[in-house]
Structure 1
Amino acid sequence: MTSINQPIIKKIPYGKDCLKKINEKNNQAVETYILNFPTVYIVSQNTTKAGTTAAKYEVYVGETNDINQRTDQHLNTDVKPNNSWDKFLKNSNSNLYIIGHDHFNKSLTMDVENRLMLYLSSVPNVIKVDNRRENEQNHYFPEKEASLIFSKIWAKLQQDNSTLFPVESVIRDSAIFKASPFHKLTDEQFQAQGKIINCIHKAMQNETENQLILIEGAAGTGKTVLLSTIFYAVSQIKKNNSHNQTESVSTSLLVNQNEQLKVYNDIAQKLGIEKKKGEAVMKPATFIHNFEKKGEAK
């Protein structure tokens, strides 16, 4: 088996002089794999309020073929008054982690980005995870190396900040991790997701109402992960689409069990699907009551 090298991780304070620090001369490997290869990056800010003991973080996860260009975009184009990038820039506790590896290609960096979303959204101390898109990858080369490379990346990040990057076993045991929309889907789940999303898009385009899609399967066949993935994907339609037909789109996830309700509400809040608990995730009775109040129940 081919040996897998350690990742290269460059951590710098996130601020106006980021670009200068990114290009500071280091060893040859850092310059090569950070500046000339595809990279994955994390921007984090510690938002812990004075007088509280538990650290709280907001993070952005991305991947790019040109870290200089992407950082310049975040610093000078993406900043709007009081948006996330403005807050990152103004927070003196913000950091930029740039991750490089000699085996990185576009597919692998997108896979690592997705896994970072999966892990970071499951960290108790992370209250918000942001990203431009979902990057679910099907098959690619060298996908067989992805898990080992990711574990090496996470272990190295954990050495730097064990609160933001706790040990993998803690994350994998969490309820949020098990229900996360960022798990890699099986071929069957991937195909089902594509069919369902296509049906939703067609219904929106044709303004078709009262559509029912039924997913059947025995316990343990992956329905929870598929549901979570579809919920996240549908919630992003309006965010990522400026067409008029998306203006009235709202997404709700209905669950009966209190434990599931809490887990999905936590996920929805961390991923920006809802600003406050219960906006998008609720029990069926609450959903019916809300729409009856609006006069929209049929």
Structure 2
Amino acid sequence: MPFLDVPNARLRYDVVGDGPPMIFVHGAGANSTVFFQQVAHFQRTRRVICLDMRGFGGSICDAATFHPRLFSQDLARLMDAEVSEPAAVVCQSMGAWSGLPLAVREPERFTGLVLSGSPTPAYGPHHKVLEQVSERFRRVAAGEAVPPQDLGFSERFVAERPELIALYQMLARMNQKVDLSTITDAELRIMPEHFSDYRVPTLVMGGVQNRLIGGETHLAAARCIPGARTYTFTESGHSSYFEEPQHYNSVVENFFDDIEEERGVAEKESDAC
């Protein structure tokens, strides 16, 4: 596994496959290994890069300096090291604090951006849900047994796939203990004026069966991002990529295929002129 040294942290990441680059960034519940079902699918056609965010999985950091403001900088450094062309980027939950700020600042790095199961840093009234998210993760960090449903898994998935719930919990125990409550800090908010020149094709997705952030929060977040498209999973919760991977992979694949087709049409029209 390759590592990347960045200020106050050492980042672990995984690279597999050949083709256009595709980067996955996980949320606060586990680490990059949770994307094993996405890696198996997309490595056939893309060069798939999965990042352990600082403090998660194999990425170690100085816990005293941990803050989400560093997430997008870490993603940029990873892209500097491993990507020589615009990349397809997929961010789950807290991972949106890596992808969206960077897409606002440096859109040329992206072919497109998928934000899944996340209020995103795009600020609006829906951000009040972050207080509940912080409270849930404080309870987990304190060693309290929090039901998987309260962390966003659907009732059906908890009942039918206990082995995958156990796997997810095992992966979560690999993470360093860091203070996640800072995700609510005002400095992280992306305000409407920051989106004045936003041009990255963006898909915001979420599952209806989500007791962590609610089943419609992704729709509210999308309204704060110019041009964002939406998709709703009716049968899963916060982690649709984990609960119904084939469905999730198909939606993500179709989104990036559509972007590439639209770009090709635009280039032909430009050449014709």
TM-score range, shorter chain: 0.3 to 0.5
Higher relative contact order structure (alpha carbons within 8 Å, sequence separation ≥ 6):
2
Q: What TM-score, normalized by structure 2, do the two folds share?
A: 0.32
Q: Whose strand proportion is higher, 1 or 2?
A: 2
Q: What TM-score, normalized by structure 1, do the two folds share?
A: 0.30
